Structure 1
Amino acid sequence: MTRAQDLFPTRLERKLGMFERLDPVVHTPEEQRSEGPLSAEKLKEFEDKGFLSFESFFTKEEMEKFIQELRDYEYDEDLKLSEGTILEPGKEEIRSIFGIHEISERFDRLTRDPRLVEMVQQILGSEAYIHQSRINYKPGFKGKGFDWHSDFETWHSEDGMPRMRSVSCSIVMTDNNEFNGPLMLIPGSQNYFVPCTGRTPTDNYKESLKSQTVGVPDAGSLRALMDENGIEAPKGPAGSLIMFECNTLHGSNINMSCWPRSNLFFVYNSVHNTLEEPYCGNKPRPEFLANRKNWDPLKPL
């Protein structure tokens, strides 16, 4: 497996300033953008903000079996011992379950739902495959936060994703409100790549998935982007959907409420953007974090 020229240098000892992205946000050519479920207005919103939110995208009835399956996982002791299951630091509560579409046939079918796949294809301008899937849990009173970060910065550095041509679909599994640590995003941040400082330790994922310290943007860059466009935290009942561009800066607070918060994430990557050698120089991360074995395009069910 080869590694192309690094167009997005990061994880260096010296600090580099942020710079404008090199890739389009919406990859479908202008003359073909009407060929999909997203309106011209929605595509422009995604282009400007780096994300879209849809309240109650899936019905409550559609979500019931998924939610019950998630509850069952919380008490599955064998699953807690899996390498793809990340526990909260120093606790037994689940923080994340990776590779959820490979664990569950029901979630695998959901990755192929035409309502998702057709929007993804319209944004990426190509067919796509699943780069990563996961469930993020935040139990009431105990759920920790996720530091500000760009997914692309990590996927580029640690997984070898060459360009910004992937999108995440976050499906709300339990009601997200202002008190239980909803996903927060910085509108417009997708337009700038923010290099991070510090070399990537070997097997960095073992610590970063619990508490990220490497690959976190500097405060000055974050302040500049927040001052320009603020912060948004889309909220909604189970079944709501947030789609965000791979370079959009996002994070979330701890859950100080009694209400748990669980979100499902499917990461769709263009079939023209498959992984190369990690740009940080380390060995590739495990398969549950970065799919290297099956880049066949998803076919909507």
Structure 2
Amino acid sequence: MSTTVRPDLYPTRIIGESVPQPRTDPTVWGEAPGPLDSRQLNQYESRGYLVLDNLLTAHEVEIYLAELQRLSEDAALRASERAILEPESEQVRSVFEVEKVSELFAELLRSPRLTDIARQVLDSDVYIHQSRVNYKPGFGGAPFHWHSDFETWHSEDGMPRPRAFSVSISLTENHPFNGPLMVMPGTHKSFIPTIGETPQDYHKESLRVASPSVGSPDRKHLTRMAEKHGIEQITGPAGSAVMFDSNLLHGSNGNLSPFARSNIFIVYNSVENTLEAPFSAPKPRPQHLSNREFPAT
């Protein structure tokens, strides 16, 4: 009896030496008109990210900050698996699947100002693969180590191809000193396999510790990529946003300042790129981390 071997275009979590491979998929998937002009699309295609100024008004920022505070004070939510706590302070680090716990955030995540961009870039209907709010409080918000989101979504969630992107919407000002997003522009065009097998229930470690044991490129490859592409910090006022490709290398430093760096984070995936069985993990991550039950957005 013959069995069909599932193709894996981006093998990772390997044993041995990691050899980067060129990305075989586009970053902008179509040519349909939409909110982004040709200059913005070209920048996103070449650099792997695009800053969206003034996505929210000052009034909207106030409303969403109040909602952010409300969620952090919800004892039942804090005790649930949707909430991730800071490793040192036990303050709330992130709350996942926010469209299920906040009507305000659900309305924003499904609003045309975001979904029209997603449909244009991904050239299909889209859905929310993952959502969360990140608090990154002052005096202790922990760092996020360098990684490609797609490497995790492919290996642990079963996302076949990098036909997805993230939007990070700032609810507080991003200063150089409060742990803003850092990116290596252009690294989305190379896929870097990581070393080591995925442990059982690995998300319980990887979402909370500063340097997870697997899932990040080694220092040799990170150094080479930084030397070739450079590192840029994404700073700017509350209400601005940045969209970035699922395979772009990014991370952030810890926040030693008194000023929180809080944001809304949404991942849009193509309905033509829905999740399969994980490519390099014992079982899929929970629903609140990787959406398998969705309507098109």
Output the TM-score relative to the length of structure 1: 0.94
Pair 1:266-2:266 in alignment: yes
Aligned to 2:132: 134
> Is the Cα–Cα contact under 8 Å of residues 199 and 281 in structure 2 kept in the other structure?
no
SS in 1 for 2:50: strand
Q: Which amino acid aligns with 1:100?
A: V
Aligned to 2:194: 196
Q: Percent of aligned pairs with the same residue?
A: 49
> Is the Cα–Cα contact under 8 Å of residues 3 and 276 in structure 1 kept in the other structure?
no
In structure 2, do the counterparts of structure 1 residues 91 and 256 end up closer, same or farther at CA, with 3 Å as the change threshold? closer
Give unpaired runs (5+ residues) of structure 2: none
Q: Deviations over 1:153-199 (max 9, x none)?
A: 00000000000100101100111111100011110000000000011
Aligned to 2:35: 37
> Is the Cα–Cα contact under 8 Å of residues 28 and 122 in structure 1 kept in the other structure?
yes
Aligned to 1:20: 22
Aligned to 1:165: 163
> Is the Cα–Cα contact under 8 Å of residues 4 and 276 in structure 1 kept in the other structure?
no
Instruction: Give structure 1 regions of 4+ aligned residues with deviation exceeding 6 angstroms.
Output: none
> Is the Cα–Cα contact under 8 Å of residues 135 and 262 in structure 1 kept in the other structure?
yes
C-alpha distance in 2, partners of 1:242/1:213? Answer: 28
SS in 2 for 1:138: coil
SS in 2 for 1:57: coil
Q: CA deviation at 1:7?
A: 1.2
> Is the Cα–Cα contact under 8 Å of residues 88 and 144 in structure 1 kept in the other structure?
yes
C-alpha distance in 1, partners of 2:198/2:281? Answer: 9
Out of 172, 181, 184, the position equivalent to 2:182 is 184
Q: Indicate the RMSD between aligned Cα atoms, in angstroms.
A: 1.3
Q: Which amino acid aligns with 2:246?
A: C
Matches within 5 A, 1:115-130: 115-130=113-128
C-alpha distance in 1, partners of 2:218/2:67? Answer: 38
Q: CA deviation at 1:73?
A: 2.0
Q: Deviations over 1:178-221 (max 9, x none)?
A: 11000111100000000000110000000100012210111121
Q: Deviations over 1:217-271 (max 9, x none)?
A: 1112111211112111121121111000000010000001000111111100000
Aligned to 1:277: 277
C-alpha distance in 1, partners of 2:76/2:15? Answer: 40
Output the TM-score relative to the length of structure 2: 0.96
Matches within 5 A, 1:98-117: 98-117=96-115
C-alpha distance in 1, partners of 2:76/2:281? Answer: 33
Give unpaired runs (5+ residues) of structure 1: none
C-alpha distance in 1, partners of 2:161/2:194? Answer: 17
C-alpha distance in 2, partners of 1:124/1:28? Answer: 7
C-alpha distance in 1, partners of 2:175/2:249? Answer: 20
Q: CA deviation at 1:56?
A: 2.2
Q: Deviations over 1:117-152 (max 9, x none)?
A: 111111101110000001111111110000000000
